Amino acid sequence: MKLYTQLNFGGNCEEAFRFYEKHLGGKIAMIMTQNEAPDAPADASNAVIHARMEIGDTVLLGNDVPGTIFEKMRSVYLYLSLDSAEEAERVHALLAEGGEVFMPMAKTFFASRFSMLRDRFGVSWSVIHELLRP
Asked whether the predicted pLDDT for residue 20 surpasses 90, the reply is yes
For residue 9, give the H/E element and its range. Answer: strand 5-9
Average pLDDT over residues 11-38: 95
The single-letter code of the amino acid at 30 is M
What is the CATH architecture assignment of 5-64?
2-Layer Sandwich (3.30)
* pLDDT value of residue 95: 98
Task: State the DSSP code for 132.
Answer: P
Between CA 64 and CA 50 the distance in angstroms is 8
The reply to whether 78-130 shares the fold of 5-64 is yes
* pLDDT value of residue 134: 58
The answer for residues whose C-beta is within 8 angstroms of residue 100's C-beta and 6 or more apart is: 117, 118
Express each pLDDT in 89-110 by its tens digit.
999 999 999 999 999 999 999 9
For residue 131, how many C-alpha atoms fall within 13 Å in the half-sphere facing its CB?
Answer: 9
Q: Which CATH number fits domain 78-130: 3.30.70.20, 3.30.720.110, 3.20.20.70, 3.30.2310.20?
A: 3.30.720.110
Express each pLDDT in 55-66 by its tens digit.
999 999 999 999
pTM score over 0.85? yes
Asked whether the predicted pLDDT for residue 133 surpasses 70, the reply is no
* pLDDT value of residue 118: 97
Q: What is the domain partition of the chain in residue ranges?
A: 5-64, 78-130
CB count in 10 Å sphere of residue 74: 9
CB count in 10 Å sphere of residue 132: 8
CA distances from 80 to 34, 36, 47, 54 (A): 30, 32, 27, 13
The CA angle 96-49-100, to the nearest 5 degrees, is 15
Asked whether the predicted pLDDT for residue 73 surpasses 90, the reply is no
Between CA 119 and CA 122 the distance in angstroms is 6
